[in-house]
A and B are shown apart, each in its own frame.
Chain A
């Protein structure tokens, strides 16, 4: 009897298990994939009266997207479908045939003295338009910004994070031999185009920093013979030295995230500490009080903490402290020396310069110092700055030798896509500005 009962229970359990197995879908888990640039097709935009600008705008969009290393353009010679009219229906099979995963169709025309660009983005494997089409207009002089804005929209729709193409970088332009280097403040587009000089070369300038809104620039100038902090209004191109305490030197300034205050280094009697004051020059407040050298401060995006470098431990290391006061916490513990820390706009990483074994590195680490990753290495890499979306780092790379010079480079935070900014000549101390409105 007991055997019969056990057998019946076993059969019941088996049936229940079978039913469960049958009713649910086949379940699999995938935790590996491939990391490849996304292939996209960008047929030349339809010319609706813009002439040569049509081709130029198309190429700038392609350069923006392919330059990220996340996208790969399929050459136009491989395209099967051609677009003579902007509203031509998309033949998805033709684009699948050449393995395009995204398609950008656009047109450029003139209206009321302005360049008008309209475009649509298509997801080939979904067989549908990705987001709404957009139309942008600007003066002919701003055609590059138009192209950057189109690329920003496409980048954001595909990757899910904001773009960084329509942005500017302030930097120190360098010319002349190493022993007679002339330095000028300059601004360029993120890709090195449209270089504009803001100062002449009569005075050494260092470490320019954009305000969060991109309307002002802080930098260190030697025009008085000593390092002083100066703030330039980008709109009027006029500058103003910030107040100082007599007998001191001020340098390494940086704006707070709200743009209302400045954190900087002040040297007095041979000691350097961090101070903060409002942008109008009042309310100077000491942040550190140590016999060591504290410098290169940078705010966290929420403005609550400051990361800086200090040699209070005997070697140059990175520390984080609350803005409101509190004991700094050391976060770098690797071999070598760490400096020029900069907080990511996303708030999750800190970029830094590292010197070890006779080489310089640009790296990133978590805000608690964990997960340190070195992205570059060379004779001299230094001064990282983040793109507005926190995806790319720009920095200075100096080549050795008497004829060596400084150039600007960018690298993805994955460590891939390392490349030089061409067309600006000698350059150092970059700071990436915000995404333009």
Chain B
């Protein structure tokens, strides 16, 4: 049993409900109309483009094409991190991309090889969507963690300097904020891992069930992806901070980003 195909025009039916939303916003002066319309429009265009693109990638299903697409995803996520965290792109793009690209890449190949046991671990059907899930999670975790670390140091500059003055080395002097960053990065994912299934059915599971998988199959995949997300997010934030901090301090251990 496969999923019921949707004709391309019926999603437009949902717009029926957007009309009253727009009227309510208008009447109450809630300035969301423009943003809602823009978001829906952009989402549609983006997904259609990705859809076309993925159709072709799935058609080729070639190691190099698939990996190039994955690298593109990693690059986009890296750029987003660098921009959101206000790091200078010139110095920090490569460290960030390596910092969370590598743990996620290792994780996806490990899952495909040992957990799912695919014949072709670069098979687009698994490689691309699963990597997308890992990267998406790592991305938000990285942004939280990196911001916590560098902002913590910036806000507590005097305390940081005092630790240096006591002759802690740079690592020891920054340790309190490093720990804070790891905790801040992991907190949301630990919370969602704890409550998953109780509050909402996760997206991947929903998709698989709609696609015709038995719930137990979907559940096993969900368990794998939740574990993988938690693990790669953890290593991703460690690597990202460790690699970015190399260029974040001057010779005097002063924060310069």
Are A and B part of the same complex?
Answer: no
